[in-house]
Chains A and B, each alone.
Chain A
Amino acid sequence: MNQETQVFDHIICPFCGCLCDDIRLEVQGNKITKNELGCAISKAKFLSHHEDRISPTIRRNGTHVEVSLYEAIGRAVEILASAKRPLVYGLSSTENDAHREAYKIAETTGGVVDNTSSVCHGPTILGVQESGEAAGSLAEVKHRADTVIYWGSNPQFAHPRHISRYVRVQGEYIKDPKADRKIWVFDIRKTITANMADEFVKIEPGKDLEFIGALRALVRGHPLDFEEVAGVSARQLAEIVEALKATKYGILFFGLGLTQSTGRHRNIDAAIRLVQDLNSFGKWNMMPMRGHFNVAGANKTSTWQTGYPFAVDYARGYPRYQPGEYTSVDVLARGEADAMLNIAADPAAHFPRQAVKHMSTIPVINIDPKRNMTSLIAEVNIPAALAGIECDGAAVRMDGLPLYLKKVIDPPDGVLPDRDVLRMIHDKLKKEVG
């Protein structure tokens, strides 16, 4: 084997929605030995990619038995062919071509297909459908933004290079990022991002919606009759509004603190309206801080292929959309799904108890590179190559920019990309169910 060190430049990191595209990797033989420029999470992802992998298994008499890939696929097809209401879920940590195959499986089986955005930025999509999308690119932020807001988001923890790549960095029209732009954090607690921000505004838990409402009233010139709103004094509110109105280019980055708290999509709806109001004074955009590296891609591909971004039901042979009904947690918690195909996600670790309890009563087919809690309760485990490390593909950054993920090393022997595993399942399924 060739043990010479190979250097790969401009590799895209397949971890979070930043999709940092400047990673430099060193590879010896078929092992990644160095990750330059990546954050700590990126380093762990690339350098430990070969650890903790799953093998093809089928559950027999309560225990997982190792089988061949073809046996595992055969059992997966049996489960899906006999299911009346299968749920196809996940997709956010794999590349776009794999998504296409998953939608075909949902259509062929008459099942529900949903992605992980139903438990992250699903409410963002609902807000956008209600009020429109005020979108911009990360490059615009870097070059133009003089006001940067992080609302319910802690990028120093979840998107470690977001601030250093796009905010605390010189841009075309921002010569001194410290003096020429201000970082604001709105949150219910003082996070590490809040600690390094120029301004921190502490909001009482669950009161984002009324706080945004108060900001909108003031921006539109209506006086408030209250001494404080959501724990923020009327005086501080007025100061915040003056700063927002004086902004030349503002960006509102928002995270799960806004989508997963009281108000859900109504918070986003209100935030979009606030941004629309502020566009009377300066240029303003907003952007969801997408978590998994291709969850934004899952929304795009789902829309391209089914017409809807998530929560799609094929039971009638054509796609129907109803968040709250065809979203995975609801389908599981109601005890409706009688089989589940999980791809590149870990719902057993991330769904509430009642949904996980139902998962344990139905056959779960789990396609993932690594062991996780879902692999423990799965009826069938099928290993897959890690997209962006062991196979190529396309993924979508948090601002909607599609990027091409490169393959840097071979997957373990016999391990295929998600798209090939799913295609094999679909081809066999098509023969079984017509």
Chain B
Amino acid sequence: MELGKLNQEYIDAVAICEIDKSTFAALGVEEGDPVRIETVLGSVVVRSSLDRRAEPGVAFIPCGPYANVILDSDTLESGMPGYKTMDAKILPAKGESILTTEELLKTMTEGV
């Protein structure tokens, strides 16, 4: 983050989804393969990452624009969106590419 927020290091740090080993097997993907994360608001492609301590059913995407593009803006009158509570599907996305931050911003603002 302190090395810049529009460069590849930032994308490599936040455009990931950490999942457990059995989820890799269920999806039929290898570590580092792209996966598509889908919520009722839309979907985003990020890189899969193995978390050896993780268990099935819970995945983690770091705070950043790749999680926010599929996040509901409803704060339930608290001011706080549900950053840590998101029901989502994970799908294999072989051959699909991860958007740059500029491309992602265009998706968010133009609603593509």
Residue B95 lies at the interface, judged by CB distance under 8 Å to chain A: no
Decide: B3 and A51 in contact? CB cutoff 8 A: yes
Tell me the bound Cα distance from A324 to B80 in angstroms. 8
- Smallest CB gap from B109: residue in A: A360
Residue B27 lies at the interface, judged by CB distance under 8 Å to chain A: no
Q: From the candidates A41, A311, A353, A360, name the one contacting B79 in the complex (CB within 8 A).
A: A311
User: Closest Cβ of chain B: how far from A301's Cβ, in Å?
Assistant: 18
Decide: A190 and B54 in contact? CB cutoff 8 A: yes
User: Closest Cβ of chain A: how far from B77's Cβ, in Å?
Assistant: 3
Residues of B within 8 A of A191 (CB): 53
Decide: A189 and B80 in contact? CB cutoff 8 A: no
Q: Which of A44, A349, A359, A360 has the most CB of B within 10 A?
A: A349
User: Closest Cβ of chain B: how far from A424's Cβ, in Å?
Assistant: 26
Decide: B3 and A357 in contact? CB cutoff 8 A: no
| Chain B stretch 30-86: residues in CB contact (< 8 A) with chain A | 41-42, 51, 53-55, 58, 60, 63-65, 68-85
Residue A170 lies at the interface, judged by CB distance under 8 Å to chain B: no
Residues of A within 8 A of B75 (CB): 324, 327, 329-330, 333
- Smallest CB gap from A123: residue in B: B80
Q: From the candidates B6, B7, B72, B83, name the one contacting A119 in the complex (CB within 8 A).
A: B83
Q: From the candidates B5, B108, B109, name the one contacting A370 in the complex (CB within 8 A).
A: B5
Decide: B80 and A371 in contact? CB cutoff 8 A: no
Q: From the candidates A195, A260, A323, name the one contacting B53 in the complex (CB within 8 A).
A: A195
Decide: B1 and A41 in contact? CB cutoff 8 A: yes
| Complex interface bits, A107-123 against B, C-beta within 8 A gives 1, otherwise 0 | 00000000000110011
Decide: B83 and A370 in contact? CB cutoff 8 A: no
Decide: A324 and B53 in contact? CB cutoff 8 A: no
Decide: A349 and B64 in contact? CB cutoff 8 A: yes
| Complex interface bits, A335-355 against B, C-beta within 8 A gives 1, otherwise 0 | 000000000001011111111
Q: From the candidates A48, A206, A323, A348, name the one contacting B65 in the complex (CB within 8 A).
A: A348
Give the secondary structure class of B's interface.
loop
Residues of B within 8 A of A323 (CB): 77-79
- For A, the interface residue count at a CB cutoff of 8 angstroms equals 59
Known: A189-B54, A194-B53, A352-B72. A373 touches B5 (CB 8 A): yes
Decide: B105 and A373 in contact? CB cutoff 8 A: yes
Residue A218 lies at the interface, judged by CB distance under 8 Å to chain B: no
Residue A188 lies at the interface, judged by CB distance under 8 Å to chain B: yes
User: Closest Cβ of chain A: how far from B51's Cβ, in Å?
Assistant: 8
Decide: A333 and B4 in contact? CB cutoff 8 A: no
Known: A257-B84, A259-B80. A353 touches B71 (CB 8 A): yes
Residue A45 lies at the interface, judged by CB distance under 8 Å to chain B: yes
| Chain A stretch 274-330: residues in CB contact (< 8 A) with chain B | 310-311, 323-325, 327-330
Tell me the bound Cα distance from A325 to B75 in angstroms. 10
| Chain A stretch 8-52: residues in CB contact (< 8 A) with chain B | 15, 41, 44-45, 48, 51-52
User: Closest Cβ of chain A: how far from B19's Cβ, in Å?
Assistant: 11
Known: A324-B79, A357-B109. A352 touches B71 (CB 8 A): yes
- Smallest CB gap from A325: residue in B: B77
Residues of A within 8 A of B74 (CB): 333
Decide: A190 and B53 in contact? CB cutoff 8 A: yes
Decide: B69 and A41 in contact? CB cutoff 8 A: no
Tell me the bound Cα distance from A128 to B51 in angstroms. 35
Residue A356 lies at the interface, judged by CB distance under 8 Å to chain B: yes
Decide: A189 and B84 in contact? CB cutoff 8 A: no
| Complex interface bits, A189-205 against B, C-beta within 8 A gives 1, otherwise 0 | 11100110000000001
Decide: B2 and A44 in contact? CB cutoff 8 A: yes
- Smallest CB gap from A120: residue in B: B80
User: Closest Cβ of chain A: how far from B45's Cβ, in Å?
Assistant: 15
Decide: B78 and A126 in contact? CB cutoff 8 A: yes
Known: A351-B68, A371-B6. A356 touches B108 (CB 8 A): yes
| Chain B stretch 2-22: residues in CB contact (< 8 A) with chain A | 2-7
Tell me the bound Cα distance from A329 to B80 in angstroms. 8
Residues of A within 8 A of B3 (CB): 44, 48, 51-52
Decide: A189 and B6 in contact? CB cutoff 8 A: no
Interface residues of A (CB under 8 A from B): 15, 41, 44-45, 48, 51-52, 118-119, 122-123, 126, 152, 188-191, 194-195, 205-206, 256-257, 259-262, 264-265, 310-311, 323-325, 327-330, 332-333, 346, 348-357, 359-360, 370-373, 376-377
Interface residues of B (CB under 8 A from A): 1-7, 41-42, 51, 53-55, 58, 60, 63-65, 68-85, 101-102, 105, 108-109, 111
Can you list 24 A-B pairs with a CB-CB distance of less than 8 A?
A: A44-B2, A51-B3, A52-B5, A152-B84, A189-B53, A189-B58, A190-B53, A190-B54, A206-B85, A256-B83, A310-B79, A329-B81, A346-B5, A351-B73, A352-B81, A353-B68, A356-B68, A357-B111, A371-B5, A371-B6, A372-B6, A373-B5, A373-B101, A376-B102
